[in-house]
Structure formats: C-alpha cells, structure tokens
C-alpha cells in the first residue's frame, strides 16, 4: 500500500472508531439535548486535534524517509561518478590499449595508448572500422575475432600480427562482449598489449636453440667420425713401430729401443683417448631405449667388471639394500657406476684400503644415488673442472687415465634427465651424487 492510501485508511479508521466510541460514551451518560449539542462540538474538536496529531506524525515520518532516500541516492550517484572518473583515468593512463566497438565493428572508444598504437587521432578512428586502420587481410582477421565474440558472448584472448604506422607489431588482445539491456552483445570491448619484444626474444631464443642443437649434432658427428677414422692411421703407426722393432731390433742400441718404447706407448695412449672419445660421443646417440633397470643389478655388473681392481686394491664395495628400479639405458648406467666406483678405487688413499659405499634415497621427484669413498679427496676448486673432457688433476705417472671418465658420467646423467655433483674433503674422501627421475 502506498503512503497516500495508508494515510487515507488511517484517517477513515480513526474517524469511524472515534464516532462509534464517542456516540456510545455519550449515550451511556444520558445527557439532555443541550448537553448533547455541547458534547457534539467537543467531540468534533477532539477528533480534529486527534487526527491532526496522528497525521502530523505520519507525514513527518514519510518526509524524513523521503529525504533519507534522496540523500542515499545522491551519495550513490556521487560514488558511481567517482568510480567512473577513476576508471576513465585508469583507462587513459593505461599502457595497454583499450577500445570498444559497436556490433558493426565501428569504433566507439579508444584510449590514449590505443590511439598511439594505430598512430591516429580520436577523430580519425571513432565511427570507423578496422578496414580503415589496418591492411585488408589483417582487418579481416580482427573482424573475424570480433564476430566470434559477438556469436559466443564469451571473453577470449588472441595473438595478433598487425601493421600500423609504427611498423609490424605482435599483440596480445583480450576481447569480450558489451552486453545490451536484454543481455545480448551489442558490441565488443578489447584490451591489447604490445608483445612485440617478447615475441622477438622468443624467436631469437628458438633460433639460438636450433643453432645450438645443430652445432651439438655437428660436434657429436665430428667426434664420432674423427675417433673412428683416427684409429686407422694409429694402428698403422703401432704396426710399423712393432715391425721396426722386430726386424731391426738387434741392430739398434738401447736408446733407440727406449725411443721405440715411447712411440708405442704414445700410440697406445692415443688409441685409448680416441676410444674414450668414441664412447663419449656415443652416449645418448647409440644407447639402447630406456626401460626399467634394477639399480642393484647395475651395481653388481659394475662390481664384476671391476673385480680384478677390487681384489688387487683389497677394496671393499658396500652396497645398500633396497636399491630401486630406475628407468634408463642399462649399458650407460653400468658405465656410470663403473666409472665412479673405478675412480673411488683408483684414487684410494695410500694409508688405508679403499671402502666404497653405494646408497640411494628418494629426494623429491628423483632418486639420489651416492657413491662415497675414503680416498685422497678433491679440493673444492676442482669440483667443476673434473667433469670436463680430458681434465685431470694428476700426472699419468701417478694415476693412469685419460680424464674423460667423469665427462662421460655427466653426459650419461644428463641423458637420463638428472644432475651430478660431489662433496669432498681432501685427504678424507669424496662422495659423488647423481639424480635420476623417479618413474612412479
Ligand atoms: P681419469 O680418472 O681418467 O683422470 P676422470 O674424468 O674419471 O678421469 O676424473 C677426472 C679427475 O677427477 C681425475 O684425474 C682425478 O683427479 C679426479 N677424481 C675423479 N674421481 C675421484 C675420486 N673418487 N677421488 C679423488 N679424485 C677423483
């Protein structure tokens, strides 16, 4: 019920109640006709006073409500205005381009950044469509996106290539529908970010990666071919040196024999280096496909292959129980463990028999395998160097080797998606750790 109807109803109810009550009261008292006239006058005035008081309170309440509502509406309007002003300030100062178009594709609005991007003034774009701003093929593409938004009524993001006054640009644009009063789209709004630099950087990175992959492949191919082909002339050198010794050995003096010995040794050493190089180049290229491999079996094969060195050094290989099954190339994993255990035996301390411990623990999504020894140890300044090809810390006379074993280890670990590193205290021992991704 509206306020006027409420007042009328209250007035009518009061009147009726008053008449009924006062008539009954006067009747009950039993007045004379003169007294009745006076009572009627009093009754009338009392009714006026009563209704005036009630109506005054009612109207005052209504007026207050109306004033409060008007004040609230004004406050809301002011807040909306403030928010709209704020939004328009943000839109104008935004480094992203913001625009709105009607359903026919005509621009209704472009913020400062959008105008800067297309290199036009507001007068030149408002009321125009994309065909006036971009080359035909690009405009078609942009308008097709708009149609998708209008048809689907959803928000989507597009990567666009456009040519503006400033040149070719890569843009990332999020577009959405502008809803009409009935909720159906009556236009499209969009927010565009210039991603030209990012796209150029990604492209450069992709190209560099491709070049790197190509040069890696070339290098691997080179190492493989070179080590293959180098062995042939090397065999010839060894063969002729041996023939020289056989045929003319008796007529040569002791010094000549010594020289021949050096030549043979050099050839043998070069052959070993070439073979190691060949093996290095084979990791990842020639390996068997990955399959589940029990690590305990890998360590046992390595132990078998190293049994002579183990016996000769009176070494002790301690293998933890419960080694996991890992995903990998069995041959490469054997080579990895064999190189690490072999080094632990080779670089043993002169004062004590070697003890080598192989263990494994779960570490995040990886297995971390550790090979610990009680050997001569390595200074921290060499922790990186020793993983590089042909890098050694000792002379050949002291410890035999070509300096490629750990480089092969690192390549194998990388091929399996892991990492290799070490902890060591010179004079006390080293622990080589490597990770392998867990298959489960
Ligand atoms: P090589 O053993 O043929 O020299 P590696 O690549 O296997 O080649 O090792 C590189 C160098 O790292 C070795 O010359 C040695 O100085 C050092 N090294 C490797 N393993 C150990 C170890 N367990 N203890 C001490 N030094 C080691």
Counted residue by residue, the chain has a size of 440
Ligand 1 contact via 284 beta carbon (within 6 Å)? no
Closest-lying ligand 1 atom to the alpha carbon of residue 387:
6
What pLDDT does 397 receive? 73
Q: 384 near 375, Cβ under 8 Å?
A: no
Q: CA–CA separation, 158 vs 142, rounded Å? A: 9
What pLDDT does 440 receive? 65
Nearest Cα residue to 189 out of 204, 173, 203, 202:
173
Nearest Cα residue to 264 out of 285, 237, 286, 290:
237
Ligand 1 contact via 336 beta carbon (within 6 Å)? no
Q: 375 near 344, Cβ under 8 Å?
A: yes
| 404 CA to centre of ligand 1 in angstroms | 9
Q: CA–CA separation, 107 vs 73, rounded Å? A: 33
* Ramachandran class of 423: left when φ > 0, alpha when ψ lies in -120 to 50, beta otherwise: beta
- CB contact set of 299 (below 8 Å; sequence gap of 6+): 317, 319, 323, 337, 341, 358
Return the best residue to mutate from 343, 412, 426, 430 for the ligand 1 pocket (most ligand atoms within 8 A of CB): 343
For residue 364, give the 3-state DSSP assignment.
Answer: coil
| 63 CA to centre of ligand 1 in angstroms | 97
- Between helices 196-248 and 254-282, what is the axis angle to 10°? 150
Q: CA–CA separation, 351 vs 242, rounded Å? A: 40
Ligand 1 contact via 423 beta carbon (within 6 Å)? no
Nearest Cα residue to 433 out of 348, 365, 355, 366:
366
Q: Which two tokens stand for residue 224?
A: 């493989």
Q: CA–CA separation, 168 vs 125, rounded Å? A: 19
| 347 CA to centre of ligand 1 in angstroms | 7
pLDDT tens figures, 71-109: 999 999 999 999 989 988 888 889 999 999 999 999 999
What pLDDT does 280 receive? 84
Ligand 1 contact via 385 beta carbon (within 6 Å)? no
Q: CA–CA separation, 288 vs 417, rounded Å? A: 16
- Give me the tens of pLDDT residue by residue for the chain, a chain 440 residues long: 677 788 788 888 888 888 888 888 878 887 788 888 888 888 888 888 888 888 888 889 889 999 999 999 999 999 999 998 998 888 888 999 999 999 999 999 999 999 999 999 999 999 999 999 999 999 999 999 999 999 999 999 999 999 987 788 999 999 999 999 988 999 999 999 999 999 999 999 999 999 888 887 887 777 777 777 888 888 899 999 999 989 998 998 999 999 999 999 888 888 888 888 888 887 877 678 899 999 999 999 999 999 999 999 999 999 999 999 999 999 999 999 999 999 999 999 999 999 999 999 998 889 999 999 999 999 999 999 999 888 888 777 778 888 899 999 999 999 999 999 999 999 999 999 999 988 76
Q: 379 near 395, Cβ under 8 Å?
A: no
Ligand 1 contact via 373 beta carbon (within 6 Å)? yes
Ligand 1 contact via 194 beta carbon (within 6 Å)? no
Closest-lying ligand 1 atom to the alpha carbon of residue 376:
25
Closest-lying ligand 1 atom to the alpha carbon of residue 391:
10
Nearest Cα residue to 347 out of 316, 370, 378, 304:
378
What pLDDT does 1 receive? 67
Closest-lying ligand 1 atom to the alpha carbon of residue 393:
16
Return the best residue to mutate from 354, 374, 406 for the ligand 1 pocket (most ligand atoms within 8 A of CB): 406
Look at the pTM and tell me if it is higher than 0.85.
Answer: no
Helical (H) or strand (E) element with 328: strand 325-328
- CB contact set of 304 (below 8 Å; sequence gap of 6+): none
If one counts every other C-beta atom within 10 angstroms of the C-beta of residue 71, the result is 10
Q: 50 near 13, Cβ under 8 Å?
A: no
Nearest Cα residue to 16 out of 27, 8, 26:
8
Q: Which two tokens stand for residue 321?
A: 């129980």
Q: CA–CA separation, 434 vs 335, rounded Å? A: 14
Ligand 1 contact via 392 beta carbon (within 6 Å)? yes
What pLDDT does 189 receive? 95
Per DSSP bridges, beta strands 316-319 and 355-363 are parallel
Q: CA–CA separation, 430 vs 424, rounded Å? A: 4
Ligand 1 contact via 405 beta carbon (within 6 Å)? yes
| 167 CA to centre of ligand 1 in angstroms | 57
């Amino acid at each position: 019920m509206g306020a006027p109807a409420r007042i009328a109803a209250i007035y009518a109810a009061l009147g009726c109640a008053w008449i009924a009550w006062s008539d009954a009261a006067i009747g009950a008292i039993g007045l004379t006709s003169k007294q009745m006239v006076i009572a009627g006058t009093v009754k009338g005035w009392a009714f006026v006073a009563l209704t005036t008081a009630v109506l005054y309170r009612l109207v005052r309440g209504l007026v207050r409500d109306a004033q409060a509502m008007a004040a609230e509406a004004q406050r809301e309007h002011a807040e909306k205005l403030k928010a709209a002003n704020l939004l328009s300030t943000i839109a104008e100062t935004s480094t992203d381009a913001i625009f709105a178009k009607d359903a026919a594709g005509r621009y209704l609005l472009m913020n400062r950044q959008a105008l800067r991007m297309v290199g036009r003034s507001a007068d030149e774009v408002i009321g125009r469509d994309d065909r006036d701003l971009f080359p035909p093929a690009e405009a078609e593409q942009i308008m097709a996106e708009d149609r998708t938004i209008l048809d689907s009524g959803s928000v989507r993001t597009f990567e666009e290539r456009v040519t503006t006054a400033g040149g070719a640009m890569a843009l990332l644009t999020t577009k959405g529908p502008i809803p009409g009063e009935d909720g159906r789209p009556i236009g499209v709004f969009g927010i565009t970010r210039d991603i030209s630099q990012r796209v150029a950087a990604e492209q450069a990175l992709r190209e560099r990666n491709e070049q790197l992959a190509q040069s890696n492949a070339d290098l691997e191919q080179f190492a493989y071919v070179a080590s293959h082909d180098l062995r042939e002339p090397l065999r010839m050198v060894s063969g002729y040196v041996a023939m020289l010794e056989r045929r003319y050995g008796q007529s040569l003096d002791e010094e000549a024999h010594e020289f021949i010995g050096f030549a043979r040794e050099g050839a043998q050493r070069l052959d070993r280096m070439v073979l190691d190089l060949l093996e290095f180049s084979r990791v990842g290229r020639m390996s068997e496909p990955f399959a589940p491999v029990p690590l305990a079996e890998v360590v046992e094969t390595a132990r078998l292959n190293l049994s002579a060195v183990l016996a000769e050094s009176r070494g002790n290989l301690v293998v933890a129980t419960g080694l996991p099954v890992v995903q990998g190339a069995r041959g490469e994993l054997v080579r990895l463990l064999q190189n690490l255990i072999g080094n632990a035996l080779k670089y043993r301390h002169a004062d004590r028999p070697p003890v080598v411990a192989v263990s494994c623990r779960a570490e995040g999504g990886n297995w971390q395998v550790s090979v610990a020894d009680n050997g001569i140890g390595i200074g921290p300044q060499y922790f990186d160097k020793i993983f590089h090809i042909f890098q050694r810390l000792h002379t050949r006379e002291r410890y035999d080797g070509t300096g490629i074993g750990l480089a092969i280890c690192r390549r194998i670990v990388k091929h399996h998606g892991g990492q290799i590193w070490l902890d060591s205290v010179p004079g006390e021992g080293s622990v080589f750790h490597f990770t392998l991704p867990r298959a489960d």
